[in-house]
Amino acid sequence: MSYFGKNIRKIRSLKSLSQQAFAELFDLKRGTLGAYEEGRSEPKLETLIKIANYFSIPIDDLLKTELTVNNLLKFKGNLTVEQDLGEQEFFIKVPCITALNQSDYLKYYSKDSYIQDLPFLSLPINPDKKFRAYTVQNLEMSKNESGMFPKDIVIGELIPPEVYSKLNNGTLVFTVTNQNIILRRLFITNDNFVLRAEHKNVDDILLDLKEIKEMWRVRYVFYHRLPETNFNLEEKLFQLAQDFDKLKKER
């Protein structure tokens, strides 16, 4: 198995190059490069040598080893990051799903060539994990004045299917199905996947494993406005006062 496609995709991400820009560096067509990255085609020897020499990467490593970003940064030559952010910290591109591109994402989520052309956020997070950003589009994960609102952005880490059953109940995820992308808390009962909203007037969604195309565990949230942190404190104090009054009456 050749790792050439995966490796050049990581190189492009590290260099913030579109498929078109990368292809032009080596006199390739964008479609040809897309075929390489998706594993549908292997490069000619002449092309392989050009890319290996340009980035000072041994040909064997480029073909036979799935290189991490940290591996790539150790090679000399043109493979460097533009910002000097230290040895372990630098920005990676996180593709972003928005209200405008969601319908297309549902069709082409498995196509690397499509994902590479999505709008993206640059974030200093783990370069060896796969992330996706999702723009909140409804009030399902809001409760009173707290929670998530439209235009907030969540950053999810890809969950392999074999890990689904090991997730804790209540884990915040966004799940890709054929029809929709659903941001909710996950509960697993009797091999069924229950997606539950925070909003009390929204019904649960029950999914079968075969309906799930992708699942992303929310790791970070960027709020479009400052969260109402004081509200939660006031609500808790009010509840404590009510409980105290109830105890006094029971005596």
The predicted pLDDT at position 86 comes to: 40
Confirm whether 242 is domain-assigned.
no
Q: 13 and 113, same structural domain? A: no
Confirm whether 85 is domain-assigned.
no
Confirm whether 120 is domain-assigned.
yes
Count of other CB atoms within 10 angstroms of residue 15: 17
Q: 103 and 213, same structural domain? A: yes
The predicted pLDDT at position 244 comes to: 67
CA–CA distance, 201 with 114 (Å, rounded to integer): 36
* Domain final residue, candidates 18, 40, 74: 74
Q: 138 and 218, same structural domain? A: yes
The predicted pLDDT at position 250 comes to: 62
Confirm whether 204 is domain-assigned.
yes
CATH classification at residue 42: 1.10.260.40
* Domain final residue, candidates 74, 107, 126: 74
Residue pair 3/72 in contact by the 8 Å Cβ criterion: no
The predicted pLDDT at position 83 comes to: 42
Q: Taking the mean position of all CA atoms in its chain, how far away is CA 111?
A: 15
Q: 97 and 69, same structural domain? A: no
Q: 221 and 113, same structural domain? A: yes
The predicted pLDDT at position 67 comes to: 86
The predicted pLDDT at position 119 comes to: 92
The predicted pLDDT at position 128 comes to: 80
CATH classification at residue 204: 2.10.109.10
Residue pair 188/132 in contact by the 8 Å Cβ criterion: no
Confirm whether 180 is domain-assigned.
yes
Q: 97 and 61, same structural domain? A: no
The predicted pLDDT at position 14 comes to: 80
Confirm whether 122 is domain-assigned.
yes
Count of other CB atoms within 10 angstroms of residue 74: 10
Q: 217 and 100, same structural domain? A: yes
Q: 150 and 38, same structural domain? A: no
Residue span of the structural domain in which 18 resides: 4-74
The predicted pLDDT at position 55 comes to: 83
Q: 218 and 112, same structural domain? A: yes
Strands (E), the chain: 92-97, 120-123, 131-135, 142-143, 146-147, 153-158, 171-176, 181-189, 192-196, 205-207, 214-222
Q: 118 and 51, same structural domain? A: no
Q: How many domains does the chain have?
A: 2
Residues 6+ apart with CB under 8 A from 92: 13, 14, 69, 122, 123, 124, 125, 127, 131
The predicted pLDDT at position 84 comes to: 41
Q: Mean pLDDT for each consecutive 10-residue tract of the chain (251 residues)?
A: 86 83 89 89 89 86 84 62 44 92 96 90 86 96 88 96 92 96 93 92 94 96 70 59 67 59
Q: pTM to 2 decimals? A: 0.59
Q: 223 and 169, same structural domain? A: yes
